[in-house]
Structure 1
Amino acid sequence: MATGLEPAAQQREGRRGGGEFRGPRGGGGREFRGQSRNTIGTARIDTPREFRQERRADRQDFRQERRGDRQDLRREQRGDLRDFRQERRADRQDFRNGVVTRPEFRADRRDDRQDFRRDQRGDLRDFRRDRRDDRRDFRADRRDDRRDYRDNRRDWDRREWDRRGWADRGWNGRDWDRRGWDGRGRGWDRGWRNDRRYDWYGWRNQNRAFFNVGRYYPPVRGWNYRRLGIGFTLGAPFFASSFWINDPWAYRLPPAYGQYRWVRYYGDVLLVDIYTGQVVDVINDFFW
C-alpha cells in the first residue's frame, strides 16, 4: 500500500508507469519493412512506362513512410517532454510539502534529467536505425523489381518472337546467323523501314510521352552533338551498356542480334557494331 511517504523516485516511477507512458510510434518504417516484397511495386508489367510509374509510386510511398516516421518521432518527443515537466512539477510540490528533503529533491531532479536525456537518445537511435533498415529494404525491393522486370521482358520478347515467326529467321539459338554478316555491317538489312510492324514514327505519335526520355549526358566531357552517319566509328564510351536500348520492340524498332545493339545518342538512335564501334544504321530525331 502506498503511504505517500515513499521516495520521490519511487513515486515518479509510479506516475510514469515504469517508463511505459510513451505509446508506440506509428511504425511507418516497420510497416514498410513488414510488407511482402511482392506487394511493394509488382514487376509484372508489360511496358517500360508502367515500370516507371510503379517505381514512381514506390518512391512516393517510401517518402510518405519517412514523413510519418519523422512526425511520430516528434510527437513522441513532445509527449516525453510534457510528461517530464509534469514530473518536475510533482517533485517540486513534494518538496514544498516536506515529503522529501532538499538533497533528495536535487538527486531526483538529476536522475530525472538523466533518464529523460537517455530516453531521447534511445528514441533517436531507434529512429535512425529504422531509417537505415527502411533504405536498405527499399533498395533491395528496387533491385528485385528491376530483375523481375528484365526477366519478364525477356520472356515477353521470346514469346513475341516465336509468335511472329522471328525465331527461325536466321536465329541459330545463340546469336544471329553469321552467314549474313560480312564483318563490316553490310549484312544488316535496312529494308526494315518498309515493314509496317516497325512503324516507329506512327507509334511515337500515339505515345509521345514514352519517347520523352530526359536529358542526354555524353560520356566524354566537352563532347557536343554532331550528326553521325553510317560508317562512322564511335568510341567505346558512347555505346556502353548504359546507353543500350534493351527493348527495341517497345519503340517499334527491329530486334538487334549478335554483335549489333541499338544505342541512344542524344535524340538519335544508332545501330552499332559493338565489336568494332561502327555505326550500321541511324535514325535522327528519334527521341523528343
Structure 2
Amino acid sequence: MFALSCNRRRLAAAAALALILPTLALSAGAFERRGGGPAEVQRAPHGYQRMEPPRGIEQRPREFDRGYFAHNFQAHRGYRIGPWRAPAGYAYRRWHYGEFLPRAYWGPEFVLADFWLFGLDIPPVGYEWVRYGPDALLIDLRSGEVVQSVYDNFL
C-alpha cells in the first residue's frame, strides 16, 4: 500500500512537471528574445519633446567679462540629477570665485555639458561648469580658477 501511494505521488509530480515545463520553456524563450537580442533605438519621451539647447550655444562668448561672472550665488531652486561621486580624499567645502579648484574635481565626469537645464549661463570659450557636490562652479579650464559659484544648485 505504501509503495503504491509513493508511486502515485511520483506519477502526480511527473504529470505536474509535464504540464508546467512547456510553459516555463516558453517564458524562458520570451525572456531570451527580450534581453538577448540587439537593443532597440530609444524612442522620444511620451507626451513631451526633449529639451533643446538654447540658440547660439555653439557660439560661446570669446571674451571673459570678470565683472559679470565674479559672483557667488545661492541657487533660486535646486535640481535633482542623481548622486555625485567625489574623487578620493573628498571633504566638501564651499568654493568662492577667485579660488583654485584642484584638477581632480574638474575632470570630464564632473563637467555639466547640459548647463542650460540647470539655469546656468553659457560659459565663455575656455570655461566650463562643473558639479561639486550640491554646487555648480564655473571654472577656467587652464588653471582651475573658480570664476563663479552657484551654491545648492543640486539637491
Q: TM-score surpassing 0.5?
A: yes
Change (3 A) 1:191 1:216: closer
RMSD over aligned Cα atoms = 3.0
Change (3 A) 1:46 1:232: same
How far apart are residue 257 of structure 1 and its match?
A: 3.3
Question: Match for residue 33 of structure 2?
Answer: 30
1:267 aligns with 2:134: yes
Q: CA separation in 2, counterparts of 1:191 and 1:232?
A: 11
| Larger helix fraction of residues | 1
1:161 aligns with 2:47: no
How far apart are residue 261 of structure 1 and its match?
A: 0.7
How far apart are residue 43 of structure 1 and its match?
A: 5.2
The SS at the match of 2:120 is coil
Q: Does the CA contact (< 8 Å) of 2:97 and 2:149 recur in 1? A: yes
Of residues 51, 61, 70, the one that matches 1:176 is 61
After the TM superposition, list the runs of 4 or more consecutive aligned residues in structure 1 that deviate by more than 6 angstroms. Answer: none
Give % identity: 25
Change (3 A) 1:37 1:218: same
1:189 aligns with 2:68: yes
Question: Match for residue 218 of structure 1?
Answer: 86
Of residues 237, 240, 245, the one that matches 2:112 is 245
Q: What is the total number of aligned residue pairs between the two structures? A: 125
How far apart are residue 191 of structure 1 and its match?
A: 8.9
How far apart are residue 214 of structure 1 and its match?
A: 3.7
Change (3 A) 1:225 1:214: same
Change (3 A) 1:224 1:37: same
1:257 aligns with 2:124: yes
How far apart are residue 228 of structure 1 and its match?
A: 1.2
How far apart are residue 270 of structure 1 and its match?
A: 0.5
The SS at the match of 1:29 is helix
| Larger strand fraction of residues | 2
Rg larger in structure: 1
The SS at the match of 1:217 is coil
The SS at the match of 1:224 is coil
Pairing of 1:82-93 with structure 2 (within 5 A): none
Question: Match for residue 46 of structure 1?
Answer: 50
**Could you tell me which amino acid in structure 2 is paired with residue 46 of structure 1?**
R
Q: CA separation in 2, counterparts of 1:33 and 1:251?
A: 37
TM-score by length of 2: 0.65
Q: CA separation in 2, counterparts of 1:36 and 1:225?
A: 40
**Could you tell me which amino acid in structure 2 is paired with residue 37 of structure 1?**
E
Q: CA separation in 2, counterparts of 1:218 and 1:267?
A: 11
Flag the structure with more relative contact order, 1 or 2, with Cα contacts below 8 A and sequence separation at least 6.
2
Change (3 A) 1:231 1:251: same
**Could you tell me which amino acid in structure 1 is paired with residue 68 of structure 2?**
D
Q: CA separation in 2, counterparts of 1:42 and 1:247?
A: 20
The SS at the match of 2:136 is strand
Change (3 A) 1:30 1:252: same
**Could you tell me which amino acid in structure 2 is paired with residue 278 of structure 1?**
E
The SS at the match of 1:264 is strand
The Cα offsets for residues 80-121 of structure 1, whole Å up to 9 and x where unpaired, read as xxxxxxxxxxxxxxxxxxxxxxxxxxxxxxxxxxxxxxxxxx
Question: Match for residue 149 of structure 2?
Answer: 282
